[in-house]
Amino acid sequence: MPDETTMTMTLPDGTTTGPFTLDDLKAATGKLKGMKADPDFDAAATTAYRVTAAELRQFIERYERLEQDRAGVAEDMKEVMAEAKASGYDTKVLRKLIALRKKDPADVSEEEAILEVYKAALGMD
């Protein structure tokens, strides 16, 4: 007597199939297998992009390596923020401050000034 989670499917015509186990589903999902080449194909006349396994692998592995580096840096950034938080700083404000430092001060004060005008017009001052 089976005792696992399964699915049944009612089709548009009202008939029901199943139940299927998850393994059934996985098995039924066909995969591209054994694509056969056509050696008689006249390659010379085509713009054939080479999909070279070695080359592809190179790109992907370089990229994945860089992703790891980036994750490591992101981890360090989280640690800095966690330390700051533990020291009593408000990390949300810290982030805002850091963002501010990246901007041109002139732009910042202009933006602030316009904002104040708008607030004044709305009676928010």
- Residues within window 103-122 making contact with DNA, judged by CB under 7 A: 103
Contact criterion met (CB below 8 Å) for 64 and 51 = no
Nearer to DNA, 27 or 82 (CB): 82
Of 84-103, binders to a copy of itself (CB under 8 A) are 84, 87-90, 92-94, 96-98, 100-101
99 binds DNA (CB under 7 A): yes
Residue 82 binds which entry of a copy of itself, DNA, none, CB below 5-8 Å type-dependent: DNA
Of 52-71, binders to DNA (CB under 7 A) are 67, 70
Residue 99 binds which entry of a copy of itself, DNA, none, CB below 5-8 Å type-dependent: DNA
36 binds a copy of itself (CB under 8 A): yes
- Concatenated DSSP letters of 70-96: HHHHHHHHHHHHHHHHHTT--HHHHHH
Contact criterion met (CB below 8 Å) for 7 and 16 = no
Neighbours of 85 (CB within 10 A): 13
Of 47-66, binders to a copy of itself (CB under 8 A) are 47-57, 59-60, 62-64, 66
- Concatenated DSSP letters of 11-44: -TTS-EEEEEEHHHHHHHS-----PPP-TTS-GG
Contact criterion met (CB below 8 Å) for 56 and 49 = no
Q: Which residues bind DNA (CB under 7 A)?
A: 67, 70, 74, 78, 81-82, 92, 95-96, 99, 103
